[in-house]
Structure 1
Amino acid sequence: MTASRTRALRLPFSVLVCSAVLLSGCSDSGSSGRKETSTTQAAQAAVPAADGDLQSAARKVIKDVLPSVVQIQASGDLGSGVVYDDKGHIVTNAHVVGDEKTFKVTTANSENELTATLVYSYPDQDLAVIKLDKLPDGLKAATFGDSAKVAVGQIVLAMGSPLGLSSSVTQGIVSATGRTVSEGDSGGGTGATIVNMVQTSAAINPGNSGGALVDLDGQVIGIPTLAAVDPNFGDSAAPGIGFAIPASMVKTVADQIIENGKVTDSGRAALGITGRTVVDAGFQAAGVAVVDVKSGGAADKAGIEAGDVITKLGDTDITTITTLSEALAADRPGQKTSVTFTRNASAKTVDVTLGEQ
């Protein structure tokens, strides 16, 4: 789905935020299962004995990149991270760090716990950067690739700490690009709507969040963030459907955080409203009621008021706050579009120049 306007992915299932909870079966006095799986064992189990050249390439990538993937522990939850530079900055998911400010970090080639401090968390894109308090010997930064070059069918490896098993590797392909996926805001999710996600068949499990999705050139092409779950089967995982934040977006956000201590240019469009989903007489979602309008924002300038019910953005029908978020995520700040809404039972359409989130 790489049309000029990326449309939202209509999933027949929900998405699961992939942080993990430390369980008795996954940890050993804080070791989080590290003693159960060695790097070599994980690599051998992950790569099928197929074509010799392919297997050799995969093993080389694992040897080169896995040392740059770390395990991050915050209170009772854990996830993964990727060493971003030689100064000790590590990029991960915002839902991995949560509300914490300090963390325990374990690298792939050591069981010694390091400490790290939050630099900045950006929940709107579900990304965060933390920094090691002290640099260990041999710390190696990963190489991030160009998202524009990611192609469907490309063989990829997912590296991280699923279920607390650090330095684990799974294999798959890029199943699709350009996906728009909305996280839930329960179960540790940030509620973010993220565009241009990379869909992969490589297994993404709790604990993989913030790790690395790597191509056979040894470049990180995405940060694994979500796995699909099927509500028809008790919200069990839908095998082979996972999503990663594209590397180019990761670099854009991480570079701003490292340079400025925050995100200064989100690139995310906004109307400048607070809204909630409303239902019709048949209890079906029927639009987004405007609860509050930001003074001077896009909606305010267009004459949209509290109490209006938004039903369309451009050509996209709006039925819920999620569909509005997805529609805005596909647009850019400064872009001109139209908003259709009802006021006192009358439909109105106004032109809007979108602001920035």
Structure 2
Amino acid sequence: MGLFDDDFYSTKVSRRTRAFSKERRILSSKQTRRNWSSVRIAFISSSTSAIAAVLLFGLFFNGGVGGSAKVQAVSTAKMSDDSESLEMKTIQASAKVRPAVVSVINEQQQVFSMGVPNEEGEGSESKESTEKNSLQQAGVGSGFIFKKENGKAYIMTNYHVTVDADALKVTLISGEERAAKIIGEDQISDLAVLEIDDKGIDTIAEIGDSSALQPAEFVIAIGNPLGLGDSLSMGIVSKTRQIVPVSLNQDGNYDWEQEVIQVDASINQGNSGGPLINLDGQVVGINSMKIADIGVEGLGFAIPTNNAMPIVSDLLANGYVPRPYLGVYTMDLAQYFAQQGGSAGGESDSSKDGSDDEAEGAAQLILPEDVRAGVIVLEAVGPAKEAGLVFNDVIVRLDKQAVGSTMELRKYLYSKKHIGDKVEVTFYRDGKLTTAQLSLTDKVEE
């Protein structure tokens, strides 16, 4: 007898136990069949309900999970199509304009001294010398062909690209160089028009409506940055109308304000004068300037075409832009006070600066204590001279408009007056307030 000799642990089963177990299995089998039938019915009912719910959800929401996947697929496809569309528009727009874009080369005379060798043949200790003039490249910019007429092609560019040139050349997209002639320049708007022979030129840039530009609209700048040749840069319109102060005489004193389009497309030296185009391949601006300062990136400006085209029309018709002319060369009174405090500098009503002698004379001004803003006359010519204005007069008002600077004087004349209009000038002379009437004329080259 084993240690665990009982029915529970033993592998031997008695006849009575087997009979009892058989009967219990039969009963369990019947009960299991009854239980399985109930479970099966419940399972089938639940499954049917779930399927019905899924079908109903699908009907209401375009096919349920399958519908969502379909919508997602359609959205992804649309985004892909939009991306391809933007890419194609960029390629097509640039291809439409690029053949009309040129590089503008400003050449200026350079004078070289050539020594005559002495008896020892050493040119460094020459007794005599001769001078030889040679045209050298002084600057490179960009431009674009916007008109063809009577065998000539006309190019729009910036004034600061062509200024002081003794000769101008343009390089076409093919690499061919042609001599260019200046038709007209305007310093105030920073625009110039050139003329070349139109042989072989087939593409003319289309001028667009700059007033239709919107913030965040894609634009492309085309030009010749850093003299590297035909180049593109893309960005968005940051601001459709920005007012930027400029110094016409490049003396650091702001004497005019330029209305421009602000963009974040890269505009570097050499891009000046090139076109800023929209995705329809239309010119909406003339690349003009970039803010170059530490920490400043992606801040470029372009002259709107809607502002440029009236100027260009005047340049084509007259070679210059007719504007009402007062006939005074000036220095701001504020600049005079700064000079008295140890600062130097001056600005004028035109491209002519006041001399040191004139600035020294202006230091003898006699003014009431409360007069701190105005424009000092350094020289009077034309209408101003005829009206009796002289050196050291301080203009403080034109008509009823207060004038505190050369910029304000220009803005009033150019925006409110026309050639032939009369203007009343109020000024101080030797501390006394007086007035003079004069008629504005067109400026004559001096």
TM-score calculated relative to the size of structure 1: 0.69
* Cα offsets for 1:221-253 (capped at 9, x unmatched): 2211122234xx4xx8x3233222221343223
After superposition, where does 1:263-302 map in structure 2 within 5 Å? 263=320, 265-266=321-322, 268-278=323-333, 279-280=336-337, 282=341, 286-296=373-383
Rounded Cα–Cα distance in structure 2 between residues aligned with 1:68 and 1:156: 17
Aligned length: 294
Identical counterparts, % of pairs: 29
How far off is 1:258 after superposition?
3.0
* Cα offsets for 1:250-274 (capped at 9, x unmatched): 32233333344x13x53x4543311
Rounded Cα–Cα distance in structure 1 between residues aligned with 2:238 and 2:422: 33
Which ranges in structure 1 are unaligned for 5 or more consecutive residues?
Answer: 1-49
The higher radius of gyration belongs to: 2
Higher helix content, 1 or 2: 2
Which ranges in structure 2 are unaligned for 5 or more consecutive residues?
Answer: 1-81, 107-136, 344-371
SS in 1 for 2:91: helix
Q: Do the aligned residues in 1 keep the contact of 2:241 with 2:262 (CA within 8 Å)?
A: yes
Rounded Cα–Cα distance in structure 2 between residues aligned with 1:340 and 1:141: 50
Task: Tell me the amino acid that sits aligned with residue 182 of structure 1.
Answer: V
**Which residue is 1:318 aligned to?**
404
After superposition, where does 1:1-357 map in structure 2 within 5 Å? 51-74=83-106, 75-86=137-148, 87-108=152-173, 110-132=174-196, 134-170=197-233, 171-177=235-241, 179-186=243-250, 193=256, 195-230=258-293, 233=294, 238-260=296-318, 262-263=319-320, 265-266=321-322, 268-278=323-333, 279-280=336-337, 282=341, 286-296=373-383, 304-311=389-396, 318-319=404-405, 321-326=406-411, 328-333=413-418, 341-347=427-433
* Cα offsets for 1:144-164 (capped at 9, x unmatched): 123443444433211111101
Rounded Cα–Cα distance in structure 1 between residues aligned with 2:299 and 2:98: 22
Rounded Cα–Cα distance in structure 2 between residues aligned with 1:149 and 1:62: 19
RMSD: 3.5
Q: Do the aligned residues in 2 keep the contact of 1:181 with 1:197 (CA within 8 Å)?
A: no
Rounded Cα–Cα distance in structure 2 between residues aligned with 1:333 and 1:151: 33
Q: Relative CO higher for 1 or 2, CA cutoff 8 Å, sep ≥ 6?
A: 1
Rounded Cα–Cα distance in structure 2 between residues aligned with 1:330 and 1:180: 17
Task: Tell me the amino acid that sits aligned with residue 67 of structure 1.
Answer: P
TM-score calculated relative to the size of structure 2: 0.56
Q: Do the aligned residues in 2 keep the contact of 1:290 with 1:305 (CA within 8 Å)?
A: yes
Higher strand content, 1 or 2: 1
Rounded Cα–Cα distance in structure 2 between residues aligned with 1:150 and 1:300: 46
How far off is 1:71 after superposition?
0.6
Rounded Cα–Cα distance in structure 2 between residues aligned with 1:340 and 1:154: 47
